[in-house]
C-alpha cells in the first residue's frame, strides 16, 4: 500500500476533520503515575494524535491535560487509545491516536473553537 493509500484509508475512518496543531500534552495512564509530556501533531473535536516512541496499547484509557499556547485555559479529560503507530516504521509518525471519551462541555466547546480556527487558517494558506 502506498503512503497516499494509507493516508486515504485513515481519512475514510475519521469522523472529524483534523487540524494540524502542536500542543504540549501531559498525560498518564494510571492515577499514581507521574505525568508524561509529549507533543500532539493534530487535533479534532473527536481526539488527537500524540507523538511518542512509547505508545500504549489500543483500548488503554489515558488522562489528558493540555493548555492553550497562551496558557489561558487548561483543558483536561479522559481519552482512549484507538490507534498505535509503533516506532521504527519510517512511513508513519510513531505515537498514538487518542479518542476523547469524557471532557466537560466547556472543554469541548473550546476544542471545537480551536479546531475551527486552525482549519480556517490552514485553508487560507
- Provide the pLDDT for residue 33: 83
Sign of the alpha-carbon torsion through 110, 115, 121, 124: negative
What's the pLDDT tens digit per position in 88-115? 999 999 999 999 999 999 999 999 998 9
The span from the CA of 61 to the CA of 30, in Å, is: 9
- Provide the pLDDT for residue 13: 53
Residues whose CB falls within 8 Å of the CB of residue 98, separated by 6 or more in sequence, listed in order: 47, 48, 49, 50, 62, 64, 79, 80, 81, 82
pLDDT band per the 50, 70, 90 thresholds, residue 1? very low
| All domains in the chain, ordered by first residue | 15-124 (2.40.10.220)
The span from the CA of 42 to the CA of 122, in Å, is: 12
What's the pLDDT tens digit per position in 23-67? 999 999 987 889 999 999 999 999 999 999 999 999 999 999 998
E-only strand ranges, the chain: 19-20, 24-28, 36-43, 47-51, 61-67, 74-85, 95-103
C-alpha cell at 116: 475551527
SS3 86: coil
Amino acid at each position: 500500500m502506498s503512503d497516499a493509500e494509507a493516508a486515504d484509508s485513515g481519512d475514510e475512518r475519521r469522523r472529524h476533520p483534523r487540524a494540524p496543531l502542536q500542543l504540549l500534552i501531559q498525560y498518564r495512564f494510571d492515577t499514581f503515575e507521574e505525568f508524561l509530556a509529549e507533543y500532539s501533531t493534530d487535533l479534532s473535536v473527536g481526539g488527537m494524535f500524540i507523538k511518542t516512541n512509547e505508545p500504549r496499547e489500543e483500548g488503554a484509557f489515558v488522562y489528558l491535560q493540555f493548555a492553550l499556547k497562551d496558557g489561558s485555559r487548561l483543558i483536561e479529560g479522559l481519552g482512549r487509545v484507538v490507534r498505535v503507530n509503533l516506532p521504527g516504521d519510517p512511513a508513519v509518525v510513531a505515537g498514538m491516536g487518542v479518542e476523547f471519551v469524557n471532557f466537560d462541555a466547556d472543554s469541548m466547546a473550546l476544542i471545537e473553537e480551536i479546531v475551527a480556527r486552525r482549519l480556517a487558517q490552514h485553508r487560507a494558506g
